[in-house]
Amino acid sequence: MSDVQELINRMSPSEKRYFKLTYSYFDVKKSQTMQLFDDYCSKPNKKESGLKINYLNHILREQILSSLVSFQKNTSPSLRLSQQLIHVSILFDKGLFIQALKQAKKGKKQAQELDDLLSELQFISREKMINKELFDKSEFNEQIQSSFYQEKVLLKKYEQRVTFRHKELFTTFIARTLGFEKSEAAKIQFSELKLFLKHNSYEECSTFHSQCMFLYIQALYHVYRKDFESALGCQLKIVKGFEGRQRLMEANLPAYIGSVYNTCVTYLYLKDFENVKVYFKRLDSFRKKSNMRLVESKLFNYLGMEIALYNGLGEFGRVSKFAKMVSLGMEKFSKEIHITAKLFIYFQLAYAYYGNGEHILSKNRINQVLFDEEVSSFPRVAIQAQLLLLFIQFEKGELNNAQERARTILKLNIKDIIKYPKLHLLLTYFESEKNSMNKSNLHRIKIKIQKLIEKEKSENIITDINLIVWIDAMINKTSYKFEMNARLSYLTISKSI
């Protein structure tokens, strides 16, 4: 697929319509590039080669990019700033220095509102160039000193932002690769973060972007320490900071949406489901109205956690709604979805189908997890998927198969399973206990798991299968869904008392 075909495939229907209207206006007869555009729209995977086609592809790509700039300049603040810089240069070249200076000052003010340091520096550079033509030697010297001071301040701010950006990206990387387990490698990396937070403070941040990056790093550090209340405080500061700066929020919509999502996840860990729903509604509102591809792909990456919320609330019946969204999204964002998000979405769908009693559909989704070529890099999801298969086999009375699967999981994943004592305990029970369906045996393993939960002070994570609920369903010969809802009802009554 050529570059221009990839670009066309990423265009929204309204962008395609705008392009056709724009170029049809200038070219009444259908040009070769317009015919090629129509061909690529109707046949996305069309393959053609040759010097003429390569030349037409190049011309078409340039036309499309020009059209997209024109289409998005009213909705993209960064493009508006670029246009302002072009306007300043045009007015300067025409010798209209006063107009050029007014335009430069206007652009500089907009750059300040958007916290765009590099654009602000460019506008100051244009101002110096214009002042050189407008003022005599003494006045110019005064203006140049003022501009030099502004540049020094901005460069210092920019240096801090670059440092924070590096630390933010590094923090995201170690969170994704090492996770939040207390391994030696994670301890070393997070101890470096502790030093960074010790030598920097929120109050010292010179720009809003620097403040956001600092709070993001601080929140991840709190999550590592399992201090979710403090992490939530940092995340809410970021969200409210964006919401108090409407234009800046619009200019950085993907970053704002990421901060809303992080807040959702923390509320989820705190089991504050009402606030989780409130924040997911905000994300859903963008899903319905956003025309920005990056925003849409981010929202799709976040879908797994929304499914996890309803699974955690025992609302497994919502799976049909999510299954349609997943099928469409996997096709649309096949190259943009993060592998972690993809596996997590598939697992949560499998879990939802299981909770809804649809075992065949659950197994299909489990296979999508287990047969993915990158699943070995994500042992927790793989183990959970294997566990679901084991539960399905157990419930169907295939005890020998369930016992064999338990042995396989332990054999292949022993280093990872040791990190999760509750899972290790249950799998060892399946592997060694011949009479695994016996009620008294199940009750004994339930008590052992409960003791581990009390000892670790780590109640079941909302995104995981609830082992206690499953054992209760086996003891009482009821469904997982029934026991989940019974447990949630009991917890609600307990809180109200």
**Contact yes or no for 374/351 (Cβ under 8 A):** no
The alpha carbons of the chain give a radius of gyration, in whole angstroms, of 28
Q: Tokens in use for 32?
A: 């070769």
pTM of the model: 0.76
Tracing tokens 């109205």 back to the chain, one arrives at: 289
Distance CA 86, CA 234 (A): 39
Q: String of b and e for 322-345 (b: at least 16 CB within 10 Å)?
A: bbeebeebeebbeebbeeebbbbb
Give the pLDDT confidence of 254-310 residue by residue, as tens digits: 889 999 999 998 998 888 888 988 998 888 888 777 667 778 888 888 888 888 888
Which pLDDT belongs to residue 101? 92
pLDDT digits (tens, 9 = 90+) for 6-36: 888 888 888 888 888 877 655 544 578 888 8
Of 29-33, 146-150, 223-227, 366-370, the one with minimum mean pLDDT is: 29-33
Spatial distance between the Cα atoms of 470 and 316, rounded to a whole number of angstroms: 15
Q: Which of 72-86, 298-312, 444-458 has the highest mean pLDDT?
A: 298-312
Q: How many other β-carbons are positioned within 10 Å of the β-carbon of residue 495?
A: 7
What distance in Å separates the CA atoms of residue 292 and residue 249, rounded to the nearest whole number? 14
What local confidence, expressed as pLDDT, does residue 494 receive?
A: 47
Whether residue 459 has pLDDT greater than 80: no
The mean of the pLDDT values for the chain is 83
Confidence bin at 496 (pLDDT 50/70/90): very low
Distance CA 7, CA 273 (A): 40
pLDDT in tens, 388-412: 999 998 888 888 888 888 888 888 7
Distant-in-sequence, close-in-space partners of 232: CB < 8 Å, separation ≥ 6: 263, 266, 267, 270
pLDDT band of residue 174 (cuts 50, 70, 90) is: low
Domains of the chain listed by start with CATH number: 3-72 (no CATH), 306-497 (1.25.40)
DSSP 315-378: -GGGHHHHHHHHHHHHHHTTTTS-HHHHHHHHHHHHHHHHHTT-HHHHHHHHHHHHT-TTGGG-
